[in-house]
Amino acid sequence: MRRRIWNVVRMEWTGIATTPSSPLFLVVVPLLLVGQALLLAWIVPRFVSPAILGTAGGDAGTLRLLILRQFPFFVLLIPAMVANVFATLGIVEEKVSRTLEPLLATPVRTWELLVGKILSGALPALAVAWLSAGLFVGVGYALGWGALLRTCLTPAFFLSIFLLMPAVSLLSFIIGVIGSSRARDAKEAQNLAVLVVFPIFALIALQVTGLVEFTPVRTLLLSLAFVAADAILLRAAVRLFGRESIVTRWK
């Protein structure tokens, strides 16, 4: 079981490694997001008029802190964007290259194939997201924002990075793979890919609007809810993977 999943993962990674744009994408997207967050945290407080800040009852430090606190949620976009590219093409590429039918004639089970596809994208995406979080904190400290960052590095932050993020990443990849297995071609898969960022945008909206304060307990509960959603959607993904229609209707 694990051997077959690992076989799929290794094959997917070999495919990523032999496609020059894929590793590049894995590096560029996180750098852009981290760079954008750092730039915003650095530049916005410098150029917003102190009078305006005073009217709002804050100062430049408060504004910077506000921006820094959004980062754990924006970093969730990294796995989502990676899923958008890799997961949504996972099954469609097999269809296009006509490798799916020979694959389905091997003893690999549908769920093993799908889990392999999901993990092959989710694991590097998570690794890159964690590295990005480390880079963000490191550069923040280097820029002299240590005091502000210490107020951000709360238990809720670590829970969101190490529990919520993996759960949400898996969800994005599962949605992506479902879209890929239902799509008839790469274009349709890419159109369906927009679905993978919905869970992330929902979280960002909750955070940015201030409707929900992400305390450690709430973050933990939310993470567990996403884990449950992962399990349910994975089962749905296996059921929705119509091997027969994929093989017979794909031309």
Partner 1 sequence: MEARTALSAHGLSKRFGERVAVDGLTFAVGAAEIVGLLGPNGAGKTTTLRMLAGIVAPTSGSATVVGGDPAVEPERVHESIGFLTESPGFYERLTAERNLAYFAAFYDGVDAAAAARRELERMGLANRARDKVGTFSKGMKQRLALARVLLHAPRILFLDEPTAGLDPEAARDLRKLIVSLRKEGAAVLLSTHNLTEAEELCDRIAVIRTQLVAVDTARALRERQFERRLRVRLAAGAEECLAALRSEAFVRDARKEGDDLLSVLLVDPDQDRPRLVARVVATGGQILEVREDERSLEDAYLNLVEEP
Member of 40, 53, 103, 131 binding partner 1 (CB under 8 A): 103
Determine the interface stretch with partner 1 among 104-112, 137-145, 156-164, 168-176 (rule: CB under 8 A): 104-112
Rule CB under 8 A: is residue 215 a binding residue for partner 1? no
CB of 166 to partner 1, least distance (A): 27
CB of 246 to partner 1, least distance (A): 10
- Measured in whole angstroms, the distance separating CA 194 from the mean position of its chain's CA atoms is 12
171 burial level (CB within 10 Å; 0-12, 13-18, 19+): buried
Residue 163 DSSP class:
I
**Per-residue H/E/C for 9-77:** HHHHHHHHHCCCHHHHHHHHHHHHHHHHHHHHHHHHHHHCCHHHHHHCCCCHHHHHHHHHHHHHHHCCH
Member of 13, 15, 44, 188 binding partner 1 (CB under 8 A): 15
- Measured in whole angstroms, the distance separating CA 74 from the mean position of its chain's CA atoms is 10
Rule CB under 8 A: is residue 7 a binding residue for partner 1? yes
Contact letters for partner 1, residues 50-89 (x by CB under 8 A):
----------------------------------------
Member of 105, 142, 144, 211 binding partner 1 (CB under 8 A): 105
Rule CB under 8 A: is residue 2 a binding residue for partner 1? no
Rule CB under 8 A: is residue 247 a binding residue for partner 1? yes
Q: What Rg, from alpha-carbon coordinates, does the chain have?
A: 20
Rule CB under 8 A: is residue 248 a binding residue for partner 1? yes
Residue 212 DSSP class:
S
**Per-residue H/E/C for 100-138:** HHHHHCCCCCHHHHHHHHHHHHHHHHHHHHHHHHHHHHH
CB of 99 to partner 1, least distance (A): 4
Q: Which is nearer to partner 1, 119 or 164 (CB)?
A: 119
What is the contact surface with partner 1 in residues (CB under 8 A)? 3-4, 7, 11, 14-15, 18-19, 97-109, 243-244, 247-248
